[in-house]
Structure 1
């Protein structure tokens, strides 16, 4: 299978809202998977690799998110849905997607996380204002790690 065929599979996944596709051909097997989680979802369907990469339990990861040191009552945290490398912009020369004070709408791209050579756009799950950014560009992030604070 060549790169063009893999890209076609990724397009099929995106167009059909699939989270997993597996193809076996001529003794070779390819499996493509993607998962996006919101802060409020139960992460019971997290892939095994992510669960193994993070030694703490899902409940412990959620407790980290709930910790608030002088955070306002209306604070909302965007956490990493996967282990990977955090990118604040689409390219090194581009401006960051968001900065402190940025107003975002639900569905806006707020960062990219690269996992297993795939670039995953992380979208705002609701309207709000970015009040804090907890990670810097090109930092490795863990599953459940705080990325942004919003209100």
Structure 2
């Protein structure tokens, strides 16, 4: 998967070139960047079964009347005004997989902000290769921040929760 910095670099290169549309597909994911008179759009479909393909479509020769700064319609990092949370420990993902906050879609989440946990309290499940792995808190304390969304793909070592001892 491309990182946001790589996507931004692609946008800059396309902006300077005569390319009107750029499609990048790999590992079941597709990123499409289209240049029009007033904006760029980036689309990421859920899954693609085709082998990796890079396709360039040349823009027809036409005069440019007005230059406008590129705008990203999706995948733009949001600037947030979140206040800093005081914590002593981060619970991190021990593997790559999909995070679930509850044992089933209609169940309550294992923990929420403010939940008191002990070292053996299950805080979430990470599914990897159809195996559901319960993740434990490993410390005694209180959940002060939840860093990953339900159903989100998480990486090895990615912080999931912050705990105040």
Which residue in the other structure is 1:104 paired with? 117
User: How many equivalent pairs are there?
Assistant: 82
Given the alignment, which residue of 115, 121, 128 partners 1:115? 128
Instruction: Kindly indicate whether structure 1 or structure 2 has the higher relative contact order, using CA contacts under 8 Å at least 6 residues apart.
Output: 1
- After superposing on structure 2, the runs of 4+ consecutive aligned residues of structure 1 that deviate more than 3 Å are none
User: Which of the pair is proportionally richer in helix?
Assistant: 1
The answer as to 2:128 corresponding to 1:78 is no
1:145 Cα offset (Å) = 0.6
Q: Does the residue aligned with 1:101 lie in a helix, a strand or coil?
A: coil
Q: Does the residue aligned with 1:114 lie in a helix, a strand or coil?
A: strand
1:105 Cα offset (Å) = 1.1
- What does the per-residue CA deviation read over 1:15-47, in whole Å, with 9 as the maximum and x for residues that have no partner? xxxxxxxxxxxxxxxxxxxxxxxxxxxxxxxxx
Q: Any gaps of 5 or more consecutive residues in structure 2?
A: 1-82
Which residue in the other structure is 1:147 paired with? 160
Distance, in Å, in 2 between the alignment partners of 1:138 and 1:112 is 10
TM-score by length of 1: 0.52
Rg comparison, structure with higher value: 2
Which residue in the other structure is 1:29 paired with? none
1:71 Cα offset (Å) = 4.3
Distance, in Å, in 2 between the alignment partners of 1:80 and 1:97 is 16
Distance, in Å, in 1 between the alignment partners of 2:150 and 2:161 is 13
Contact 2:85/2:145, CA 8 A, preserved across alignment: no
User: Which of the pair is proportionally richer in strand?
Assistant: 2
Q: Any gaps of 5 or more consecutive residues in structure 1?
A: 1-68
Which residue in the other structure is 1:87 paired with? 100
Contact 2:85/2:144, CA 8 A, preserved across alignment: no
1:119 Cα offset (Å) = 0.2
TM-score by length of 2: 0.48
